[in-house]
């Protein structure tokens, strides 16, 4: 089972996914604070690829900052995933 994370939040490095788990914990508080103040949306990826669903999300909501965590493995794949986001109006 592969857990994937997409994150673009001020104060969280762009290489967050490649950091060791212990280093990721340093930024967890920043992510939690972001989640408390951000809007949320559920994105469906039924019958379409994750890349296409993500592209549709970016075009529709036009986020400046975002965070999402989802499962995407060989045998397990989420039908939908939750995205926390802020647009240029909220930032």
Query: Each residue's pLDDT tens digit in the chain (91 positions)?
Result: 588 899 999 999 999 989 999 999 999 999 999 999 999 999 998 888 888 999 999 999 999 999 999 887 777 677 889 999 999 987 6
Residue 37 belongs to a domain: yes
Which tokens in the block code for residue 24?
Answer: 């990721």
Residue 51 belongs to a domain: yes
How many whole angstroms separate alpha carbon 57 and alpha carbon 44?
10
Residue 91 belongs to a domain: no
Total structural domains in the chain? Answer: 1
Residue 82 belongs to a domain: yes
CB atoms within 10 A of CB 89: 7
Backbone angles phi, psi at 74, to 5 degrees: -65, -40
Tell me 86's DSSP state.
Answer: E
How many whole angstroms separate alpha carbon 15 and alpha carbon 45?
25
Residue 52 belongs to a domain: yes
Query: What is the reported pTM?
Result: 0.88
The three-class DSSP label of residue 60 is: helix
């Amino acid at each position: 089972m592969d857990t994937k994370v997409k994150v673009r939040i001020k104060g969280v490095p762009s290489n967050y996914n490649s950091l060791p788990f212990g280093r990721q914990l340093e930024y967890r508080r920043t992510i939690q604070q972001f989640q408390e103040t951000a809007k949320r949306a559920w994105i469906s990826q039924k019958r379409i690829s994750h890349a296409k669903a993500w592209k549709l999300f970016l075009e529709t909501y036009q986020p400046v900052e975002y965070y999402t965590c989802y499962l995407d493995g060989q045998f397990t794949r989420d039908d939908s995933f939750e995205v926390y986001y802020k647009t240029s109006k909220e930032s």
